[in-house]
Structure 1
Amino acid sequence: MHRAPRYVQVYNQLLSMIKNGSFAPGAKLPSEESMSNDFNVSRVTLRTALSLLKEDNVIKSIHGQGHYVTEKQESNSGGIELIENPLRGSVSLKLDSCEAYFHKNTASTFTDKLFSVKDSKYLTLNLWYKNKLKNVANELSIILPETIEKFGIDIEDPTNLVQLLEKDIYSFTASSEVTIVLSERPVETFKRKFIDSGPLMLLTEDLFASNGDRIIQNKFYIPAKYFRATLRRYSNHM
C-alpha cells in the first residue's frame, strides 16, 4: 500500500490541529525545533510541510518571529474575474489605509504609443496600500489629463484619487486585459519601502473604452510573499 511522504503526513497533522482549534487563528506555532521533535522528523521535512501550509494560506511566517496561523480577516474576499480593481483580490493581508499622490509628466515616446497620441503630457498616479502602516502594495497608473477632466474631480485631494482608481474608472470600462508576471524591477528602486524585501509580483491592467481606446494602464506591485489571486473558472460544456 502506498504511504504518503513524511512531509505530507506532517502537513495533514498540522492542518488537522489548526482546523480543530488546537491552534487558534493568529496563534503562534511552536518553534521549529519543538515541532521537529514532536513529529519526530528532520528540520528539512518540517519546513517542507510548513511551506505547503503557507502556499495554502493556512499559516504565515514573520521573519525573526516564527510561524502564525493565518487570521481569517486578513484575507480579502473575491476573485479577479470582474472588471473592477483587482488589488484587494490579490493580496493575502488586510489593507487598512492608503497613501495617494500624483505627478505631471511631459510627453514620452512610450505613453504616446500607449494611448495612440502625439506629444501629449500625461499623469502618473500612485497609491500605496498599507497594513498597520507598512507598505503592502503599490499601484502605479498612467493616464492622460483629458481623461481625468471627464470625471470632473480635483486630484489634489487624495481621497478623489483613491475613489477614481478603485471605483470610478471602472464605470467607464468596456473591457480589460490583465497580465501577471514576476517583476524584474528591484524592490530597492521604489521610493517607499515594502513590507517584504523579496521579489514582487506585477499585475499590469489595461482598461479600454467601448471604442477600443485605452483609458488607463495600472500596474500593481505586490510582494510575492503576500500575493494570492483566485480566478474562478466554469465548464463550457454546461
Structure 2
Amino acid sequence: MNTKQLNKLKRPLYINVYDELLLQIKKGEYQPGTQLPSEPELARKLGVSRATLRQALVLLQDDGLVRNLRGKGNFVLESSYNQKEQENVQLEKLSNPMHKCHISTFDQIDLHYRLDPQTEHTKQVLKRYSSPVVALERLYRQEGDLLAYAFTFMPIQTVENLSLDLDHKEKMLEFLENEAYLDANYGNIEIKYTHTVNLADPKEKLIGQDECFLLLETLYSKAEADYPLMYTKFYIPQQFSNIKFNAYNS
C-alpha cells in the first residue's frame, strides 16, 4: 500500500472524546441504567468544550450506548454489542442502500479517508483486531449540494487481502459503492433516526441534517463469513428518504 500520498482527514477531537467515554463505559465506570454527569461537568472532566462533548454524545446515541432524555440528561444503556443478536431487517437485494433509500441521483461523490488506531468501538463493530483501521467518508452531492453522507470503517486486512489502493479514488469508490456488495455474502442493516450529523469538515453542510434516517450496515464477505468486510453509517435526510420493505409469506 502506498503511504506516501495519503489523503488524510484530520481526526476530529470529538472522536477522541467518543473513544474515551466508550472506554469508560466498557470499563464499568458508568454502569447501564446510570446517568452520566451533567454536560458542563463532563466537559470539564474531559477538558473539552460542551459543543465537542455533544458531538461525541450523539455518536454514542447513534451506537445505542447512551440515551438522552430531554430535561433529564444522558443515561447509559445496555450495550447493543452485548445484547442477544436479533434478526435484522433485510433489504431485498444486497446492494448499496444509499441508492435504494435516497430519492435523488448524485452527480458527484467525494471520498476522503484517514488511518485510525484500533478503538474499543472498531474492535466491536469489525469483530477483529485491526491496526490501523481505515476510516472513509463519502459525501453525496447533486449540483454542489450535499444531500447524503456515509462513513465507513474497514479493517486494514480487507485493504491488504483485496489489494485495494486507497490513493486511487475512482477504484475505491467503485469498490465501496458496488464491488463490495458483489464480494459480500450477506449484510445486516439497523435503522435509526438522528438529529445530528457529525461531518469531518465542519464547513460542510448536509441539507436536512437535523432530521436524518441512520442506516447502520455491517457487510460480511464470502471469504471470511465471520468477519465484517466493512461497517458503514449511511445518513439520509428525511426529506430525501424512500425506505420501503417487501414482506412475503414463506
Same-fold call, TM > 0.5? Answer: yes
Distance 1:149 1:174 in 2: 19
State yes or no: 1:203 paired with 2:223. Answer: no
RMSD: 1.9
- Which shows bigger deviation, 208-217 or 80-89? 208-217
Partner residue of 2:138? Answer: 127
Residues 168-201 of structure 1 show CA distances to partners (whole Å, capped at 9, x for unaligned) of 11122111101111025x24x3232112243111
Q: What one-letter code is carried by the residue in structure 2 that aligns with 1:157?
A: H
- Which shows bigger deviation, 197-206 or 207-216? 207-216
After superposition, residues 104-119 of structure 1 pair within 5 angstroms as 104-118=115-129
Asked whether the 8 Å contact 1:202–1:220 carries over to 2, the reply is: yes
Partner residue of 1:70? Answer: none
Asked whether the 8 Å contact 2:128–2:227 carries over to 1, the reply is: no
1:113 deviates by: 2.4
Secondary structure in 2 matching 1:88: helix
Partner residue of 1:213? Answer: 227
Say which one has the larger Rg: 1
1:80 deviates by: 4.0
Partner residue of 1:167? Answer: 178
State yes or no: 1:194 paired with 2:194. Answer: no
Match of 2:103 among 76, 82, 92: 92
Q: What one-letter code is carried by the residue in structure 2 that aligns with 1:209?
A: S
TM-score, reference length from structure 1: 0.61
After superposition, residues 30-179 of structure 1 pair within 5 angstroms as 80-118=91-129, 120-179=131-190
Distance 2:211 2:130 in 1: 35
Partner residue of 1:54? Answer: none
Q: What one-letter code is carried by the residue in structure 1 that aligns with 2:232?
A: N
Partner residue of 1:222? Answer: 236
TM-score, reference length from structure 2: 0.58
- Which consecutive unaligned segments of at least 5 residues does structure 1 have? 1-78
Secondary structure in 1 matching 2:101: coil
Identity of aligned residues (%): 19
1:104 deviates by: 0.6
Between the two proteins, the alignment pairs up a number of residues equal to 156
Asked whether the 8 Å contact 1:96–1:132 carries over to 2, the reply is: yes
Distance 2:235 2:129 in 1: 29
Residues 189-220 of structure 1 show CA distances to partners (whole Å, capped at 9, x for unaligned) of 32321122431110011011343221110110
* Greater relative CO (CA pairs within 8 A, separation 6+): 2
1:119 deviates by: 6.2
